Structure 1
Amino acid sequence: IAPAARISNAWDTKVGGTLADALSCNAVVKSFGAEAREDGRLMRVVSRWRRRVNRTWLRYNTTAAVQLGVLLCLRSAVIGGAVLLWMAGKASPGDVTYVLTSYYVIHAYLRDVGMHINNLQRAVNDMDELVAIHGEPIGIVDAADAKPIAVTGGHIVFDAVTFHYGGHRTALYDRLSVDIRPGERIGLVGRSGSGKTTFVKLVQRLYDVSGGRILIDGQDIAHAKQDSLRSQIAIVQQEPILFHRSLAENIAYGRPGVSRAEIEQAARLANAHEFIMRLPKGYGTLVGERGVKLSGGERQRVALARAFLPDARVLILDEATSSLDSESEALIQEAMERLMKGRTAIVIAHRLATVRSLDRILVFDRGRIVEQGNHATLVGKPGGLYRSLFERQATEFGQLSAAG
């Protein structure tokens, strides 16, 4: 039974995965009129799952029937043997009664043992995948001497950091050193794949460095408790993810237990209060899975409000104004300026207009910082990478304006 059960359980997982894939990409399916194609894909998976589940069911019932048959044969042999001995005069009626009574007791226990063994085997097979997941090693483990970290100023130092992803032989960062002062607003720019996103992931300790160390306010984050570190870093992602809960719960996620007045104040600072109050249930409105009931700009403003509440000293903005209309971008840019005030801010940007007002811009290229300085310094550097990127974007914008 076990091999067949493992295969049918694996296909059960595939059915769930196929359904989740189609439902989470529902907008794409509708856009291409591909409902019938997705139905067909699901039917193919369900058909294979059904065949394998049917095979497991047949094996289970066949095994149960064989076990029952063996017990019936044993019962017939015992009863027949006792009767034959009595007929031959070698056993008294009391002997026959004793044998039959003892056998029926043993038979009941044997039947129960067989049933429990079958149930145990099915349970073990159903638990296989869960046990395998539980056995997966944790990617980032707190050190034995890990302690809560206290981020009071937001001074971030990359001290000769070397890092490479597990499957890559070449290091992305080779002895990278950066010093970000408390309250400094830093922009990270560069081509895709140059190491900008990895920089902020290392600050959050989503990966461990291969060499060197990262310090926040003089404390090595490798010796800090992960939950303590991340709870003191506010982040607004490029694609904000909201829970299928009320707007109030989403805003308060980084600091549960806050009052309604504090939630509303955070929403006002993020320019989100007005659109929330226009909704039928206001702050009690459910936003749908991943926030699908809100527009991109509305989701982004809710994510900004969520970042206001913890009052963290370190702030990460990952391309927070991308793919938005000009009105939403202006509102979010205004909220970002409020959010960055008094905090150490790291801003990842592809649209260089986002970083023009920042204190310092780090220009990445293949894991190295090739240029750094403010916008005026970098744009005035002949042959510089930042100037090249800026001129290209300015040219594209000019062409779009002319075409409009």
Structure 2
Amino acid sequence: MALFRRQFLPGRKDDNAFTAVLGFTFAHWRFQPVVIGLIALAVLLATLADVMLPLYAGRLVDAIAGGTSDREAALDAALKSFGIIMVLGIAMAVLRHLAFLGIIRLTLVMISQVAEDAFHRVQRFSTNWHANAFAGSTVRKITRGMWALDLLNDTLLIALFPSLVMLVGTTILLGSYWPAMGAIIALGSVLYVGMTVALSLFYVAPAASLANAWDTKLGGALADAISCNAVVKAFGAEDREDGRLALVVDKWRSRTRRTWIRGTNNGTAQAVLLVLLRGAIIGAVLLFWWQGNATPGDVTFVLTSFFLLQGYLRDVGVHIRNLQRSVNDMEELVAMNGQPLGIEDKADAVPMKIGAGEIRFDDVTFHYAGHDKPLYENFNVTIRAGEKIGLVGHSGSGKTTFVKLIQRLYDVTGGRILIDGQDIAHVTQSSLRAEVAIVQQEPILFHRSLAENIAYARPGASMSEIVEAARLANAHDFIERLPKGYGTLVGERGVKLSGGERQRVALARAFLADTPVLILDEATSSLDSESEALIQEAMERLMEGRTAIIIAHRLSTVRSLDRLLVFDRGEIAEEGTHDQLVRLDDGIYRRLFERQAMDLARGLAA
């Protein structure tokens, strides 16, 4: 899908947005040149048939009004003109039908490509990007841009292109009979189109861009409140959320109202200019008739040409407004398409295959974007193959960042991270993460069946392998008690399951992955004692034979680990086993352990 990506500067507005969106669209057109060519040819011929229609309508009138001296000759001329008019009409209908069939094929392929490419990019955007983006807003940008592409193709190929052909063709045809008439039509049409474009670009488009920005915020606000509905209910905050949304809706309404009013003003200005052009053309043909330079058929020819041209010109205003609207609707999608992924595979990246599982931080320096002071500076640590390591420390001390860097969710600023001697910056991200299983503190499940959620670690796993992984994770028994067993849908983010059940499903997923490196964001502190015991037992089983890194929240669970790393402000302040660290006077680990022990004692006393 990389072929379909074009780089554009994000956040550019107005005329630059037109350049970016049209460039994006034409880039996709290049992948269907034959279809584009056939559509253009069909539209061109159909419009030329429309251009010629007034000429033969005028000849028909001249044949009828030519007198009665030779009625048979007049009838023959009239029937000939009538026949040509019918042929032109049938040709136009058939050619337009073929053009529409072509545009259907073109647009469906393009929308599919754009949707797939947008999803491809969003999936690969960095963790930092996702942390700063509303899921609802992102979905709104993609879906709105997809359907805007449909309108844009129709506008350019089925609307504006034939309007241009009609304008040029009518000007040439009438100008060949009366040069002054051709000049009037050319000048009036240029003024009309120029005014329409100027108003659309510089008057309507800025307001539409702002309205779309608030439309995106509205989608984000809706998704944020709906996805957190459990919290809203917990605090009885429905009225408060109604009020919060009302503020966003009010801003969206005022911005959208301004856009619609400006669009209406634009339409009125176009209508006035069309009336003036109508007066100029009809006045000119009447003058030609009075001077004896035009027959009744010529008058019919001019009037019919004008009424057809007027329809096309009136529609030009609508088409340009549609063009402006579709560009505004697509600009956020195009800008997103041009954003860097953040974390990208290098050109020479190779697949990673972890054997023993030794992990080494070699003079690593890292700081988050927007932070002047690095979190890690010349940071060095080695985790031996098969070693069980606990990460301990206050919140914000660097534990979570440590495991995120191992997964390459962020790139280091300096130094390197090696796994079995392989620099993770030079391997493909997908192969790296396929070799490192992680069980998060708050496991996230798809709204799919339990079997699909467990098998997500290995899509080709058999049902017996899925069941065995669930048994090892102490999840099989509760799954079997569910009405549909492994076929049970778990709800969005696994909301239908308890915290302990979600945790065991995540452990089953890690068992099935069977990777040499394991990361556990230990999350038993908020569970009941029975769930905690089941999960602790499954975790100990899962760690066997693997290099395991455990972010420790309850220090009582890390006593048996080979080594503990105590983090403090991005440095390893203490290192050793539980027994060694608990004996350090005024040590960080000792203080944390004693505080938890006192909290537990108070809880038991209460």
- TM-score bracket, shorter-length normalisation: over 0.9
The equivalent position to 1:213 in structure 2, one of 412, 416, 422, is 416
User: Equivalent of 2:561, from 349, 358, 369?
Assistant: 358
2:241 partner amino acid: E
Q: Which of 32, 35, 38 is the aligned partner of 2:238? A: 35
Unaligned 5+ residue runs, structure 2?
Answer: 1-203
2:454 equivalent among 251, 262, 265: 251
Query: Counterpart amino acid of 1:283?
Result: Y
**Greater displacement, 281-290 / 199-208:** 281-290
Q: Among residues 184, 189, 209, which one is paired with 2:387 in the alignment?
A: 184
Q: Is the 8 A contact 2:385 2:547 kept in 1?
A: yes
1:243–1:288 contact (8 Å) kept in structure 2: yes
* Distance apart, 1:260 and its partner CA: 1.2
Q: 2:574 aligns with which of 371, 384, 396?
A: 371
Contact 1:156–1:216 (CA under 8 A) maintained in structure 2: yes
With 361-370 and 340-349 compared, the bigger mean Cα shift is at: 361-370
Q: Deviations over 1:69-99 (max 9, x none)?
A: 3223312320121012212334344543443
Match 1:77 to one of 267, 270, 280: 280
Is 2:190 aligned against 1:6?
A: no
Q: Is the contact between residue 232 and residue 312 of structure 1 (CA under 8 Å) also seen in structure 2?
A: yes
Aligned to 2:596: 393
Bigger CA drift: 365-374 or 381-390? 381-390
SS state of the match for residue 220, structure 2? helix
Question: Any idea what SS the aligned residue of 2:446 has?
Answer: coil
Counterpart for residue 170 of structure 1:
373
Name the SS for the 2:549 alignment partner.
strand
Q: Residue 44 and residue 389 in structure 1: after superposition, are their counterparts in 2 closer, same or farther (change >3 A)?
A: closer
Give the aligned CA root-mean-square deviation in angstroms.
Answer: 1.7
Measured in 2, the distance between the counterparts of 1:27 and 1:96 equals 73
Q: Does 1:316 align with 2:509?
A: no
Change (3 A) 1:384 1:40: closer
2:19 aligned residue: none
Cα shift at 1:195: 0.8
| Cα distance change on mapping 1:43 and 1:252 into 2, 3 Å | same
The answer to whether the aligner puts 1:286 opposite 2:492 as a matched pair is no
Identity %: 70
If the length of structure 1 is used for normalisation, what is the TM-score?
Answer: 0.95
Give the letter for the 1:273 counterpart. H
SS at structure 2 position matched to 1:390: helix
User: Amino acid of the residue matched to residue 332 of structure 1?
Assistant: I
Distance verdict in 2 for CA 1:43–1:166, change over 3 Å: closer
Query: Structure 1 CA distance, aligned partners of 2:232 and 2:546?
Result: 42
Displacement after TM superposition at 1:382 (Å): 2.8
CA contact (8 A) 1:236 1:320 kept: no
8 Å contact 1:238–1:322 — kept in the other structure?
no
1:239 equivalenced with 2:442 (yes/no): yes
Q: 1:140 aligns with which of 322, 330, 343?
A: 343
Residue identity opposite 2:424 in structure 1 = I
Corresponding residue of 1:348: 551
The structure with the largest alpha-carbon Rg is: 2
Question: Is the partner of 2:508 in helix, strand or coil?
Answer: helix
Deviations 1:208-249 (A, max 9, x none): 111111001110001011111111110011111111111111
Q: In structure 2, the residue corresponding to 1:299 is in which secondary structure?
A: helix
Task: Verify: 1:96 aligned to 2:299, yes or no.
Answer: yes
Deviations 1:182-230 (A, max 9, x none): 1111000011111111110110011111111100111000101111111
| Distance in 2 (alpha carbons) for counterparts of 1:348 and 1:164 | 20
Deviation at 1:315, TM superposition (A): 0.4
Q: Whose helix fraction is larger, Structure 1's or Structure 2's? A: 2
- Deviation of 1:8 after TM superposition, in Å, equals 1.5
Output the CA distance in 2 between the equivalents of 1:34 and 1:165.
Answer: 34
Q: CA deviation at 1:57?
A: 2.3
Per the alignment, in what secondary structure is the counterpart of residue 309 of structure 1?
helix
Q: Hey, what does 2:176 align to over in structure 1?
A: none
Deviation per CA, 1:376-396: give whole Å up to 9, x if none. Answer: 222223332222221221122
User: Contact 2:582 / 2:593 at 8 angstroms: preserved in 1?
Assistant: yes
- CA displacement at 1:258 relative to structure 2: 1.4
2:17 counterpart of 1:17: no
- What letter corresponds to residue 327 of structure 1 in structure 2? E
Q: Is the 8 A contact 2:386 2:546 kept in 1?
A: yes
1:199 aligned to 2:375?
no
CA distance in 1, matches of 2:516, 2:498: 29
Per-residue CA distance 1:108-156 (angstroms, 9 max, x = gap): 4434433322211110011122122222222112112111111122111
Report if the CA contact (8 A) 1:205-1:221 is conserved. yes
1:297 and 1:54 map into 2 onto residues whose CA distance is: 50
- Maintained 8 Å contact 2:437/2:519: yes
Pairwise CA distance, 1:167: 1.6
User: Conserved in 1, the CA contact under 8 Å of 2:523 and 2:553?
Assistant: no
Residue in 2 aligned with 1:107? Answer: 310
Q: Normalising to structure 2: TM-score of the pair?
A: 0.64
| Residue 364 (structure 2) pairs with residue 161 (structure 1) | yes
Paired residues of 1:360 and 1:373 also in contact (CA < 8 A): yes
CA apart distance, 1:332: 0.4
SS of the aligned residue for 1:161 comes to strand
SS in structure 1 of the partner of residue 341 of structure 2? coil
Tell me the distance in 1 between the aligned counterparts of 2:580 and 2:441. 27
Return the offset for 1:105.
Answer: 4.5
Task: Kindly provide the CA deviation profile for residues 356-395 of structure 1, in whole angstroms up to 9, marking residues without a partner as x.
Answer: 1111111111111122111122222333222222122112
SS, match of residue 140 in structure 1: coil
Amino acid at match of 1:291: G
Partner Cα separation in structure 2 for residue 177 and residue 215 of structure 1: 11
AA aligned to 1:57 is W
Distance 1:63 1:213 in 2: 59
**8 A Cα contact 1:232 1:314, kept in partner:** yes
Distance apart, 1:55 and its partner CA = 2.6
**Structure 1 counterpart of 2:253, from 38, 47, 50:** 50
1:336-365 deviations in whole A, cap 9, x for unaligned?
011111111000012111111111111111
Alignment pair present for 1:119 and 2:356: no
Return 194-203 or 157-166, whichever deviates more.
157-166
Instruction: Provide, for residues 24-45 of structure 1, a one-character-per-residue CA deviation record: whole Å limited to 9, x for no partner.
Output: 2212221222212222222332
Distance (whole Å) between structure 2 residues aligned to residue 170 and residue 10 of structure 1:
34
Instruction: State the 1:104 CA deviation.
Output: 4.0
Q: Deviations over 1:243-294 (max 9, x none)?
A: 1111111111121121111111111111111111111111111111111111
Post-superposition Cα deviations, 1:3-23, rounded to whole Å, max 9, x if no partner, equal 121121112112212212221
CA distance in 1, matches of 2:249, 2:587: 57
Residue in 1 that maps onto 2:427: 224
